[in-house]
Amino acid sequence: MPAPLSIIIPALNAEGDLPACLESLMPGLGAGLIREVILVDGGSSDATVEMAEASGAVILGSIPGRARQLIKGAAAARGDWLLFLHADTALSPDWAERTLTHMADRPDKAAAFSLRFRSDAPPAKWLAARANRRSRWLGLPYGDQGLLVSRTLYDETGGYEDVPLMEDVKLVRAIGKSRLALLSAEARTSAAKYERDGWRKRAYRNAWLIIRHHLGASPEKLARAYD
């Protein structure tokens, strides 16, 4: 019987973060969980593709754009379950165990991982805690937290939309809070943008973009305000 999980990683010039991401997947191989790792490259000019090839990943080329890359990866995936993971996110060692338990106990639900930033800055813990509360209370995890979803549920909700921003929010809203769980295993993601822009400034900026999205602003307008 084939392993159940296809992991889909959209990437663009991710050579600095990708090794940690790929290395963190090793517990899933040991557990017989991973059927394939699909890296969808948006035209990298660095060593991203070579690194992924060396790890044994399937490489797909794509027009740049995270939503387009996610859609293409999902269309090619053969697993009964899909895990969408950002290239700058590494999973904690217990992710495979928690994923297998979720698949067995809650096959009708999607899941995200608990967020943690790879930073020692005090605001990193504050922002991660806020994001995890939002995930539990509202069913709105960040894309940085990964998304584990069965092929059946992914297809039922229509999957990702080809939009320039908020593709992750649109999909988790379609899934709904009642069908989304937060796993205790961690998605340990890059803090580079927060360290560049300032933790609170970036956090409130992102929150305002989400509010504007809920109020009906188009993804195209939101994308112009996002960097």
Instruction: Please name which of 60, 71, 59 lies closest in space to residue 163, comparing C-alpha atoms.
Output: 71
204 beta partners: none
Q: Any idea what the CATH number is for the domain that residue 54 is in?
A: 3.90.550.10
Q: What does the pLDDT read at residue 62?
A: 97
- 210 part of a folded domain: no
Q: What does the pLDDT read at residue 217?
A: 67
CA 171 – CA 161 distance, rounded (Å) = 8
**Kind of pairing between the strands at 89-91 and 180-189:** antiparallel
Can you give the pLDDT of all 227 residues of the chain as single tens digits? 889 999 999 999 999 999 999 999 999 999 999 999 999 999 999 999 999 999 999 999 999 999 999 999 999 999 999 999 999 999 999 999 999 999 999 999 999 999 999 999 999 999 999 999 999 999 999 999 999 999 999 999 999 999 988 899 999 999 999 999 999 999 999 999 888 888 888 877 777 667 776 667 676 765 565 66
Give the other-Cβ count within 10 Å of 95's Cβ: 26
| Coil vs helix vs strand at 112 | strand
CA angle 172, 146, 125 (to 5 degrees): 105
- 133 part of a folded domain: yes
Structure token pair of residue 188: 């340990």
Cβ atoms of 70 and 10 closer than 8 Å: yes
Instruction: Please name which of 33, 40, 42 lies closest in space to residue 6, comparing C-alpha atoms.
Output: 33
Q: What does the pLDDT read at residue 4?
A: 98
CA 87 – CA 105 distance, rounded (Å) = 28
- 204 part of a folded domain: no
Task: Quote the domain boundaries for residue 161.
Answer: 5-191
- Domain count for the chain, please give it: 1
